[in-house]
């Protein structure tokens, strides 16, 4: 039998209830300033590339020049190394703030003075890949070879191997290759969250250790000075950073602390007309005593210590068919065909929660024929009926009825349930169904008396909704919310 398609993208993340970051000092937000050092690692025929650079410069919309040097482009990048870097270095060292550098290995090798200044300032120097080039069309083995060489050259130039990685111009294989490499404490080639998280490949046939991901940003980033519909002035840059920071602080004060990344480039924000805006923001952040300004390695080590990787006990989207049906076949009472059909859907990480898997199962119930849905209703036992007395209920039904005290009825209560059960089944052809976990004996009896007056179509719909509710409550007991 052909295995169904699985959706590898994670559209859920932490969901509605992310973990509490517990930043040092009770900070409301962790702030990560990142200086991208790419100058000397960009596309250039002098570097053996096929064409000149065309990305992130004052020449917005530039095109590559095949087999030619682009003198203007080269000199713009050179400004970043010769002028912009030192301006940023002075700003952050005078402010006493920690910085993470995304360092392109080739660029670092061509800038020994800048590397020494980074080290003297205590900045973290992470890897930004071997060259500042686009990897989207690279073969996997070629990209792996470049990553290996990036680590080797970085270690040789800096004096220690990089603990973090951000490639930036990635392929679909970049993150997987970084995790496979095995030596990075953190990687940042995602933009999908406001908190660090663990990426694993458990159950996907790969022997790769869990990898900590610290998501990066393209919005709170000076690259928008060099893109259409970007920042036209320093005031716009400052206003955007301030609004983002204020939002993070307000969310943190409300009990949901997270992380803000600020992306910087020596040749962009290092220009005098822009760096003043960055300085205003730095001064603004420093005035807040509930902002933890940290390098990315510091954030990573905090996360490892306070939120270590926890393997998932159940991953529905990564289960084999037999395991899936065996585990979830009884969620809809005595109706494993619902789980069998749900398994064939395009399941993914979003279905590994109670709500997500419930949606998949409920879709199959809702799309079934009326006769099939009637069979599900008829599979449910009478409340406090003969099966309960004979202790022949499913484990789930036994626990559910007991939770509402239906296993300890008085003679009068049992007689009332029996009378209502008989009348209800005679009228509708299926037993009365209600999510007992939401109710008490009194509210169940009240609902019983009200619903028995419904017409058949209305009550069929009401019973189906209760079946779905019961299934959700059962899933809540075994899967994360």
CA dist 367 to 156, 291, 323, 342, 363, Å?
A: 61, 50, 23, 11, 6
- The end-to-end CA distance of the chain, in Å, is 32
Q: Where are the alpha helices (DSSP H) in 159-233?
A: 174-181
What does the block give as tokens for 233? 């002035």
Report whether 154 contacts 176 (CB < 8 A): no
* Catalytic, out of 70, 89, 265, 380: 380
Q: How far is CA 248 from the centre of its chain?
A: 17
- 265 belongs to the catalytic site: no
**∠ at Cα 127 (126, 130), nearest 5°?**
160
- Closest CA relative to residue 417, chosen from 468, 427, 399, 407: 407
Report whether 199 contacts 9 (CB < 8 A): no
Q: How many whole angstroms separate alpha carbon 310 and alpha carbon 244?
A: 31
Hey, which bits of 135-237 come out as E strands?
A: 164-165, 186-187, 197-199, 211-213
Q: How many whole angstroms separate alpha carbon 366 and alpha carbon 347?
A: 17
Q: How many whole angstroms separate alpha carbon 263 and alpha carbon 191?
A: 12
DSSP 87-149: HHHHHHHHHT---EEEE-HHHHHT-HHHHHHHHHTT-EEEE--SSB---TT--HHHHHHHHHH
Q: How many CB atoms lie within 10 A of CB 227?
A: 14
What does the block give as tokens for 284? 């603004």
**∠ at Cα 257 (280, 123), nearest 5°?**
50
- The residues that are catalytic are 380
């Amino acid at each position: 039998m052909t295995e169904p398609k699985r959706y590898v993208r994670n559209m859920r993340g932490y969901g509605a209830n992310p973990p509490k970051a517990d930043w040092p000092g009770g900070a409301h937000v962790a702030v990560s300033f990142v200086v991208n050092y790419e100058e000397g690692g960009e596309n250039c025929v002098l570097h053996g590339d096929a064409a000149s650079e065309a990305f992130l410069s004052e020449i917005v919309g530039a095109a590559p020049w095949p087999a030619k040097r682009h003198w203007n482009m080269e000199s713009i990048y050179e400004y970043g190394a010769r002028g912009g870097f030192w301006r940023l270095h002075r700003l952050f060292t005078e402010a006493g703030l920690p910085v993470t550098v995304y360092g392109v290995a080739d660029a670092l090798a061509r800038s020994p003075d800048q590397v020494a200044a980074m080290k003297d300032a205590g900045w973290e120097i992470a890897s930004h890949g071997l060259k500042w080039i686009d990897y989207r069309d690279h073969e996997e083995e070629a990209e792996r070879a470049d990553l290996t060489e990036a680590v080797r050259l970085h270690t040789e130039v800096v004096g220690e191997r990089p603990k973090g990685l951000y490639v930036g111009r990635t392929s679909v294989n970049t993150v997987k290759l970084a995790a496979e490499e095995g030596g990075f404490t953190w990687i940042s080639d995602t933009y999908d969250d406001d908190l660090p998280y663990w990426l694993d490949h458990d159950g996907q046939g790969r022997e790769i250790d869990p990898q900590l991901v610290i998501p990066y940003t393209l919005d709170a980033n000076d690259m928008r000075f060099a893109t259409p519909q970007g920042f036209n002035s320093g005031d716009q840059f400052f206003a955007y950073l301030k609004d983002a920071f204020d939002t993070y602080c307000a969310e943190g004060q409300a009990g949901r602390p997270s992380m803000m990344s600020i992306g910087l480039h020596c040749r962009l924000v290092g220009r005098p007309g822009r760096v003043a805006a960055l300085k205003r923001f730095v001064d603004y952040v420093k005035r807040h005593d509930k902002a933890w300004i940290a390098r990315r390695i510091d954030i990573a080590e905090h996360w490892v210590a306070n939120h270590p990787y926890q393997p998932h006990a159940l991953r529905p989207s990564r289960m084999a068919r037999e395991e899936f049906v065996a585990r979830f076949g009884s969620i809809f009472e005595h109706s494993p065909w619902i789980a069998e059909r749900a398994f064939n859907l395009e399941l993914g990480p979003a279905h590994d929660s109670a709500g997500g898997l419930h949606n998949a199962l409920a879709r199959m119930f809702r799309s079934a024929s009326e006769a099939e849905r009637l069979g599900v209703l008829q599979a449910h036992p009478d409340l406090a009926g003969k099966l309960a007395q004979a202790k022949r209920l499913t484990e789930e039904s036994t626990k559910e009825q007991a939770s509402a005290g239906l296993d300890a009825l008085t003679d009068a209560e049992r007689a009332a349930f029996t009378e209502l059960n008989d009348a209800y089944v005679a009228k509708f052809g299926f037993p009365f169904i209600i999510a007992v976990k939401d109710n008490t004996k009194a509210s169940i009896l009240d609902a019983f008396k009200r619903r028995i007056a419904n017409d058949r179509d209305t009550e069929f719909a009401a019973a189906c909704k209760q079946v779905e509710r019961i299934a959700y409550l059962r899933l809540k007991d075994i899967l994360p919310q």
